[in-house]
Chain A
Amino acid sequence: MLNFLIRRVSFMVISMIAISILSFVLIELPPGSAIEVKLQQLRQQGGDMTAEQVRGLEERYGIHDPIQVKYWKWISRAVKGDFGQSFQLDRPVKSLIWARLGFSVLLSSFALVFSWGLSIPLGVYSATHRYTLPDYVIQVLQFVGVAIPQFLLALLLLVLASRAFNQEVGTLFSQQFKNAPWSLPRLLDFLRHVWIPVVVLAVGGTAGLTRIMRANLLDVLGQQYVQTARSKGVAEHIVIWKHAVRNALHPLIMALGTTLPLLISGEVIISIVLNLPTTGPMYLQALLNKDMYLAVAFLLMLSLMLLIGNLLADILLAWVDPRVRLE
């Protein structure tokens, strides 16, 4: 187990390096980045002060250096937590990303818990009541849930929320709490707002996971050890929840490998639609404006989020299934 963890963590480090190079190159490639715009501005202002500023910036970000030097200058600061400057917003990247990343993690985690909490009972019900009306309803909803683009669902819920509930959407806080420090009322206010993005985010995942759960449970229910449990005189609900569901969880956790990227992707896009104070809108703006240091930082952090999620999934898997522990 320890060996396994060490292997996984070292792979994570290598992945992060590769991703940082990839994203750096990707965002460096196109001409017309925000830093050049900024330098242009400074040059136009003229004067000794700005000329010095221009030189300082050019030196710091290696404007005239070849790309590998540029990368090195950037990465050696990045590992210390200095991700450079957002030239669009004129602020250091690190002052911009953490709060937004926090909300992203929070939102994704809520959605994950929500979709698991929903998909397991739904899948179990669907599998144990096969070919009944509720099973068909659940199955049809699954297809719709998977097929509906998340941004569209966000839009629909937005329309619904403002029409039916008359709730202000497109924010995580009411006006009076927006910049207030954390407190119980603020938390309650947050919870009142956060449900829309969580529901939107969870729908796709729930649909997929319910499908997996149903299929797996049907598979497991056909296994001999389920009959063994029944033949011992174990009550049916214990047979299902203790003996069958536990075994059906394995593929569900494996599915995290595909659930998490979808979740993070979904979080980005629905935050843009709902204009939430998370990574999505700022990342998009950074991309559109070629505000490269900001965009790279977001891409790296989103990838890190995914890698950590996958690591947690692996640990969970080893905990649930003793057969994995051996490897």
Chain B
Amino acid sequence: MATVSTGLPLGGVAVQKEESAADQVSQWTLMRWRFMQNRLSVGALVVLILMYLTAAVAPFLSPNDYNELDTDHAFAAPTRIKLVHGWPSVCPLTQTLDPDHFKWVYEADCERAVPIRLFVHGAKHRLLGLIPTDVHLFGVVDVPPPAEAAPSASKTAAKDSVASLLAGLGGQNVAGAASAQAETKAEKPPRLFFFGADQQGRDLFSRVLEGSRVSLTIGIVGVIFSLIIGSLLGAFSGYMGGVVDNAIQRTIEIIRAVPTLPLWAAFAAALPRTTTVTQRYLLITIVLSLVGWTGLARELRGKVLAYRALDYIAAARLAGSSHLRIVLSHMLPNAASHIIVIATLAVPYSILGETSLSFLGLGMLPPAVSWGVLLRDTQQIQSVLIHPWMLLPAVPVILAVACFFLLGDGLRDAIDPYS
């Protein structure tokens, strides 16, 4: 016996311990373990969480009011940040019209650079929609101290003389325009445009932040609607079989026989155009989910068909459970992990759908701001060629969509490592 007990601890005990640990953890814990091993998906999840947090406090993070018009900065390029005394600062811009190309030309004056400050007071907003405040995380204070006014004026004069010198060499008009601009615009405060400004001089960065609130949530809300319709219809379709199943399945097939985007477009075009932003938002989510539920219902039906053959469902039926109860409390919870995966993978399509529709002018409409609405400005290709930063709102779209795909992939591998 002694030999046995000294021999066993090496392998036997260790193995037994592992087994018992595996017995005790729940299915969800196992999934979480497997998911955490997939670095790319975890990274995607982190990025998504950051994006949603950003959207939640968008006004706080925006240096400018997203709707503030500023014709002095129409199509201003992304602001270059200069380090002045080791602190990031913004150089004020002066606007002139280039008469040869009919475009605004901006000149930075870094002598008068203004530092970017933290926790500045700006436009009023409600933090998280609750706390009224006018504090923004960062921004530039637009009150130049009066003491500096004099030197800056003299600098303007100096620049003026340079301009007239240039005028003597060539373009009389340009110089005239430049000096006129310099006189009237010299005292304009500097603005911070990370992503540049649009045609009306609105800060694109702040608009992208504001747009994320619509674009990021519309995908999720749309999928939630799809989920409700899809999981109920799908589950019942699979569970009931027969006529019900047939009817639902044929409906799904017919809806899927219409190309998605044209169908969305037709739905969206049928919506009344005179609605509030909130109404429009809801209507668009409904349009997205009217098509979106079909995929979910399909997948779920397959799952339920598989479950239906299992003994515990038969047991529940024999015990007198109603159909509704069997579907709701026996089948759907079992399919929950699958539903989550399918839903996660449906979100990016929803986001792309909203973006595409808004881009076409059929989704969210101005004054609402979403990434698609912002990208609508890129339809004038000539404008994009001159102001390429107008394409920047596409970056968060790609990022969000790619992250959702990665996340969905990771979740799928986690719940079903063998498929």
| Chain A min CB distance to B158 (Å) | 37
| Chain B min CB distance to A213 (Å) | 16
Would B398 and A15 count as touching, CB distance under 8 A? Answer: no
Would B394 and A149 count as touching, CB distance under 8 A? Answer: yes
Would B257 and A302 count as touching, CB distance under 8 A? Answer: no
Distance of A310 Cα from B258 Cα, bound (Å): 12
**Which of B256, B258, B262 interacts with A283 by CB under 8 Å?**
B262
B359 (CB) vs chain A CBs: closest residue: A151
| Chain B min CB distance to A244 (Å) | 19
Chain B residues whose C-beta falls within 8 Å of the C-beta of A306 in the assembled complex: 257-259
Distance of A156 Cα from B397 Cα, bound (Å): 15
Distance of A149 Cα from B397 Cα, bound (Å): 8
Q: Is A198 an interface residue (CB 8 A)?
A: no
Q: Is B263 an interface residue (CB 8 A)?
A: yes
| Chain A min CB distance to B384 (Å) | 6
B352 (CB) vs chain A CBs: closest residue: A149
Which of B82-90, B118-126, B374-382 is the interface stretch? B374-382
Q: Is B110 an interface residue (CB 8 A)?
A: no
Which of A19-27, A77-85, A113-121, A231-239 is the interface stretch? A19-27
Distance of A163 Cα from B375 Cα, bound (Å): 20
Q: How many chain B residues touch the partner (CB < 8 A)?
A: 42
Q: Is A317 an interface residue (CB 8 A)?
A: no
Q: Is A170 an interface residue (CB 8 A)?
A: yes
Q: Is B388 an interface residue (CB 8 A)?
A: yes
Would B254 and A15 count as touching, CB distance under 8 A? Answer: yes
Would B259 and A264 count as touching, CB distance under 8 A? Answer: yes
| Chain B min CB distance to A279 (Å) | 8
**Which of A152, A163, A272, A295 interacts with B397 by CB under 8 Å?**
A152
Q: Is A249 an interface residue (CB 8 A)?
A: no
Would B360 and A155 count as touching, CB distance under 8 A? Answer: no
Main secondary structure, interface of A, reads helix
Chain A residues whose C-beta falls within 8 Å of the C-beta of B263 in the assembled complex: 299
**Which of A11, A18, A170, A287 interacts with B362 by CB under 8 Å?**
A287
Given contacts A26-B270, A143-B402, A170-B381, contact A303 B265 (CB under 8 A): no
B window 354-377: CB within 8 A of A? 355-356, 359-362, 375
Most buried by A among B257, B260, B362: B257
Would B253 and A15 count as touching, CB distance under 8 A? Answer: yes
Given contacts A144-B398, A264-B262, A269-B360, contact A26 B267 (CB under 8 A): yes
Chain A residues whose C-beta falls within 8 Å of the C-beta of B378 in the assembled complex: 155
Q: Is A214 an interface residue (CB 8 A)?
A: no
Would A19 and B261 count as touching, CB distance under 8 A? Answer: no
Would A307 and B257 count as touching, CB distance under 8 A? Answer: yes
Chain B residues whose C-beta falls within 8 Å of the C-beta of A268 in the assembled complex: 259, 261-262, 265
Q: Is A173 an interface residue (CB 8 A)?
A: no
A266 (CB) vs chain B CBs: closest residue: B261
Would B356 and A158 count as touching, CB distance under 8 A? Answer: no
Q: Is A92 an interface residue (CB 8 A)?
A: no
A153 (CB) vs chain B CBs: closest residue: B394
Q: Is B76 an interface residue (CB 8 A)?
A: no
B window 262-313: CB within 8 A of A? 262-263, 265-267, 269-272
Q: Is B391 an interface residue (CB 8 A)?
A: yes
Would B398 and A265 count as touching, CB distance under 8 A? Answer: no
Would A155 and B384 count as touching, CB distance under 8 A? Answer: yes
Chain B residues whose C-beta falls within 8 Å of the C-beta of A273 in the assembled complex: 379
B404 (CB) vs chain A CBs: closest residue: A147
Would A299 and B266 count as touching, CB distance under 8 A? Answer: yes
Q: Is B339 an interface residue (CB 8 A)?
A: no
Distance of A299 Cα from B260 Cα, bound (Å): 10
Q: Is B405 an interface residue (CB 8 A)?
A: yes
Chain A residues whose C-beta falls within 8 Å of the C-beta of B394 in the assembled complex: 148-149, 152
For this complex, 17 residue pairs linking A to B, each with C-beta atoms less than 8 Å apart, are A15-B257, A27-B269, A30-B272, A143-B405, A143-B406, A146-B402, A149-B394, A150-B356, A155-B378, A158-B381, A158-B384, A163-B385, A170-B381, A265-B259, A268-B259, A269-B356, A306-B257
Taking beta carbons and an 8 Å cutoff, which residues of A are in contact with B?
11, 14-15, 18-19, 22-23, 26-27, 29-30, 143-144, 146-152, 155-156, 158-159, 162-163, 170, 257, 261-262, 264-266, 268-269, 272-273, 283-284, 287-288, 290, 295, 298-299, 302-303, 305-307, 310
Taking beta carbons and an 8 Å cutoff, which residues of B are in contact with A?
250, 253-254, 256-263, 265-267, 269-272, 348, 352, 355-356, 359-362, 375, 378-379, 381, 384-385, 388, 391, 394, 397-399, 401-402, 405-406
Pairs A-B, 8 closest by C-beta atoms: A265-B261, A147-B402, A287-B269, A264-B259, A147-B401, A18-B254, A15-B257, A303-B258
Q: A143-B402, A302-B262 are in contact. List 17 more A-B contacts (CB 8 A).
A: A14-B250, A19-B258, A22-B254, A143-B406, A147-B398, A147-B402, A149-B356, A149-B397, A151-B356, A155-B391, A158-B381, A265-B260, A265-B261, A273-B379, A299-B263, A306-B257, A310-B257
